[in-house]
């Protein structure tokens, strides 16, 4: 289908050129040597092809687009001139000359030169995109790399490969395809970096919007890419991942209850929290008791019970038995890194 489009494009160019030349050639058909005019046109159409094929074969490089376009333009002009002269000449050989011109045009221009120019345009676009990628790498700029990478990806996809495969001449086609292979190698080298960067940007946006579930999905995707990052961006991307994981952990961490204060009486402690604790067992508490400013003694609670909203816990502890003198008792409760002492109460002597 693309080959048909290129033939139509080339033919349209030639037709337009022919119409233009029809009013400007200014040479009567009777004054022209028709065989020579036809031969010259055919020779130039072939020369446009030979220019690019011989450059590849002898120099191992692609002929410049400017050179081939100049040959292409001249071939179209001579083709249009020759067709006009033949059509005006009449004679028995008219149809033969026209057929020769059209066949040569199709074979060398439509099927060879035009596909080359078409492929060259794709090659130039890929080179521009690759230069942008290399600049981003020199700058170590991930923002710049993401944009340039996408341009290069689009400039080296299946559509471009198809253009290269349509080029006539195996050596020329191979030059195009070798560059395409180099481009794909460069893309592969930084694919993980670009994907990780995109996922990190998504995670950042999701966290800002409070969508923690989507943020976690994006961060999980990044985690799968961490071992494939390039040395150039590995440290930067891993640091950004760690920072965002910390933000995510803070955003999803269950609130921890704080112990506000403690009330104590003989045999019972009342603990007041700002939030309901996720759990509260004897293992979560460290209770000590001091009598008359003496050494602290560890106390093991016998039971813990909450009120209705679970912000107040009543802790049963062994009672302090009366002694021969009054006893000033102070309980201290440690919970989740906090340490709070209740006001002292007195156990009176009998």
| pLDDT for the residue 31 | 60
Q: Which residues, in sequence order, are CB contacts of 71 under 8 Å at separation 6+?
A: 44, 47, 48, 51, 113
- pTM here is 0.67
CB 240, CB 196: distance < 8 Å? no
| pLDDT for the residue 256 | 85
CB 164, CB 119: distance < 8 Å? yes
Average pLDDT per consecutive 10 residues, the chain (350 residues; last block may be shorter)? 48 43 42 88 96 95 96 97 91 91 97 97 96 96 95 93 95 96 95 97 96 96 96 96 96 88 96 91 95 95 91 95 94 94 94
| pLDDT for the residue 45 | 97
Could you state, in order of their start, the residue ranges of all structural domains in the chain? 2-136, 259-347
| pLDDT for the residue 27 | 43
CATH code of the region 259-347: 2.60.40.10
Give domain 2-136's CATH architecture: Up-down Bundle (1.20)
| pLDDT for the residue 154 | 93
Rounding to the nearest 10 degrees, give the CA dihedral for residues 130, 133, 134, 135. Answer: 120
| pLDDT for the residue 350 | 84
Which of 62, 44, 45, 42 lies closest to 53, judged by CA? 62
The yes-or-no answer to whether 2-136 and 259-347 have a common fold is no
| pLDDT for the residue 279 | 84
Its sign, for the CA torsion 178, 179, 183, 186, is positive
Which of 82, 61, 304 lies closest to 175, judged by CA? 61
**Phi, psi (5° rounding) for residue 45?**
-65, -40
Rounding to the nearest 10 degrees, give the CA dihedral for residues 101, 103, 104, 110. Answer: 120
**Phi, psi (5° rounding) for residue 285?**
-115, 145
Helix (H) or strand (E) holding 273: strand 268-273
CB 10, CB 110: distance < 8 Å? yes
Q: What is the CA radius of gyration of the chain?
A: 43
């Amino acid at each position: 289908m693309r080959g048909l489009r290129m033939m139509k494009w080339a033919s349209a160019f030639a037709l337009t050129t022919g119409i233009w030349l029809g009013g400007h050639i200014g040479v009567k058909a009777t004054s022209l040597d028709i065989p020579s005019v036809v031969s010259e046109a055919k020779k130039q159409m072939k020369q446009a092809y030979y220019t690019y094929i011989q450059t590849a074969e002898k120099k191992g490089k692609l002929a410049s687009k400017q050179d081939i376009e100049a040959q292409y333009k001249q071939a179209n002009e001579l083709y249009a001139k020759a067709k006009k002269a033949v059509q005006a000449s009449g004679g028995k050989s008219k149809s033969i000359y026209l057929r020769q011109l059209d066949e040569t045009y199709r074979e060398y221009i439509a099927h060879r030169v035009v596909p080359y120019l078409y492929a060259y345009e794709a090659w130039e676009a890929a080179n521009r995109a690759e230069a942008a990628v290399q600049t981003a790498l020199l700058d170590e700029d991930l923002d710049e790399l993401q944009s340039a990478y996408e341009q290069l990806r689009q400039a080296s996809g299946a559509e471009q490969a198809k253009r290269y495969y349509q080029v006539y001449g195996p050596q020329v086609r191979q030059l195009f395809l070798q560059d395409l292979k180099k481009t794909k190698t460069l893309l592969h080298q930084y694919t993980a970096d670009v994907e990780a960067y995109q996922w990190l940007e998504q995670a950042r946006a999701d966290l800002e919007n409070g969508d923690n579930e989507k943020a976690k999905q994006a961060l999980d995707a990044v985690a799968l890419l961490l071992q494939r990052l390039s040395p150039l961006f590995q440290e930067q991307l891993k640091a950004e991942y760690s920072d965002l994981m910390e933000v995510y952990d803070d955003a999803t961490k269950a609130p921890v209850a704080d112990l506000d204060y403690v009330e104590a009486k003989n045999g019972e402690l009342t603990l007041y929290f700002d939030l309901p604790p996720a759990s509260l067992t004897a293992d979560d508490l460290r209770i000590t008791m001091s009598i008359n400013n003496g050494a602290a003694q560890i106390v093991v609670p016998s039971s813990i019970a909450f009120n209705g909203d679970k912000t107040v816990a009543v802790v049963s502890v062994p009672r302090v038995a009366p002694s021969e003198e009054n006893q000033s008792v102070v309980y201290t409760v440690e919970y989740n890194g906090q340490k709070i002492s209740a006001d002292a109460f007195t156990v009176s002597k009998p």
